[in-house]
Amino acid sequence: MRYFIELQYDGVAYCGWQRQPDAMTVQGVIEEKLSMLLRVPTEIVGAGRTDTGVNASFYTAHFDSDAVTDAGQLCYKLNKVLPPDIAILRIYEVGASLHARFDARQREYTYFLTPRKSPFRRFSAWHFTADLDVERMNAAAAKLLEYEDFTSFAKLNSNNKTNICHISYAHWDVEEDGTLRFTIRADRFLRNMVRAIVGTLVDVGRGRYTVSEFEDIIRSKDLSRCSAGAPACGLFLSGVKYDE
């Protein structure tokens, strides 16, 4: 039987999602505890990679097992044995062919940038004090929807088969406390792509680039043209959608 897991995690203590032989990862920790509870080695497949320090407010994964007798109880027990920075939202049975990664139709990332120092957001937002022109940042973000090739924001040596992504939404909002929230949705993302986009849009907002120059960066397909990536702490994988 195949089961889906919906979960959240604070990524500050982990070297990303994907299992690594000599590093603590979210996948590795969950597999260890799940295998312990089911009393059989159990591998899980995630919706995609997240880098070191990146968080997830909504993440999906699947695993196959004939040892699950009650998915609700398994969810409860898994939460009891997992560390406090990983939370299982629910576990439920799905069709045997549904794949957490390959069947995902849309992924959403959210990035938080705060103008005020906060002891409570030091691991969940980028503390950035310079004045930013949010209207200009949104004008630049809108240009992302007009292109498909995002080589300019793709980390080198990532072994991507293609740098084509279809972005359907990209927008900055200002919350009541002044925190800036950037939301971006696409069918897929390249490694480090969102952080590179955020860093470059912030440079648009502080006047380093014009909107036209930002568009030139996209068209150039040259990673050296974009700004340094935004810190990992402010980035959250916030949504994964599948066909009904």
Give dist(CA 37, CA 91) in Å, integer: 14
- pLDDT interval class at 186 (50, 70, 90): very high
pLDDT of residue 160: 72
Domains 2-94 and 111-242 fall in the same CATH topology: yes
Task: Kindly report the backbone phi and psi dihedral angles of residue 38, in degrees, each rounded to the nearest multiple of 5, phi listed first.
Answer: -85, -10
pLDDT value at residue 158: 62
Domain spanning 2-94 has what CATH number? Answer: 3.30.70.580
Extents of the domains making up the chain: 2-94, 111-242
Active-site residue (options: 51, 149, 203, 222): 51
d(CA 216, CA 153): 13
Express each pLDDT in 18-44 by its tens digit.
Answer: 999 899 999 999 999 999 999 999 999
pTM of the entire structure? 0.94
Judge whether residue 225 has pLDDT over 70.
yes
Exposed, middle or buried: residue 106 (CB in 10 Å: 0-12, 13-18, 19+)?
middle
DSSP 41: -
Q: What is the mean pLDDT of the chain?
A: 95
Give percent above pLDDT 90 in the chain. Answer: 90
Question: What is the tens place of the pLDDT at every residue in 68-126?
Answer: 999 999 999 999 999 999 999 999 999 999 999 999 999 999 999 999 988 988 889 99
Task: State yes or no: pLDDT of 159 exceeds 70.
Answer: no
- Rounded CA-CA distance 188/107 in Å is 6
Residues 6+ apart with CB under 8 A from 244: none
Question: Residue 157: is its pLDDT beyond 90?
Answer: no
Contact of 31 with 19, CB cutoff 8 Å: yes
Q: What percent of the chain has pLDDT over 70?
A: 98
Give the separation between CA 60 and CA 108, rounded to whole angstroms: 12
| 185: helix, strand or coil | strand
Q: Answer whether 191's CB lies under 8 Å from 154's CB.
A: yes
Beta bridge partners, 186, equal 107, 167
Active site residue 10: no
CATH architecture of 111-242: 2-Layer Sandwich (3.30)
CA distance 224 to 244: 40
pLDDT in tens, 43-62: 999 999 999 999 999 999 99
